[in-house]
Amino acid sequence: MQFNFGTMETVYIKTPLGITTIIGDENGIAVISVSNEGEISKEIPEILQNAVSQLTDYFEGKRTSFDFKLNPKGTDFQQKVWKELLEIPYGKTLSYMDLSKKLGDIKAIRAVASANGKNPLWIVVPCHRVIGTDGSLTGYAGGLWRKKWLLEHENPTTQQSLF
């Protein structure tokens, strides 16, 4: 799959979990990802300032939801899964099985997990809130240590006893 970012702006910010990349334009934020290395941007493009501000607030414990415009690229099925992920409340988790049920097809659990793993909007579309039926962390594109950190950040009292 190839993306045409044309006139999209990009910014790199430091977060507790690494260098976060934010890519977007006037149509919304298309990508938020994290890596272990990279150069932090000296300036934040105006179109990305709201997203940077809200993510900063999230990491500082001042924000539990995001309201900037999203514009992720994906198949219709992926979009449907990502939309359902947005319904998982802050501080709560949902199993892949329950997510498949909500989407109307329990047999689609592998496809749901695959779409979850292809989520281009780290944290904002909260794929980290999806866990195994047995409560295990299961896979996470950003690394299980990041998933554990995010879940503990969002619910420090109950999540720590799970792991």
pLDDT (tens digit, 9 = 90+) per residue, 11-30?
999 999 999 999 999 999 99
What is the CA 160 to chain-centroid distance, rounded?
20
Predicted structure pTM score: 0.89
| Any domain includes 71 | no
Looking at residue 139, what is its pLDDT? 81
Closest by Cα among 92, 88, 95, 81 to 136? 95
**CATH classification of the domain holding 158:** 1.10.10.10
| Mean of pLDDT values over 34-46 | 94
Residues with a catalytic annotation lie at 127
Domain count, the chain: 2
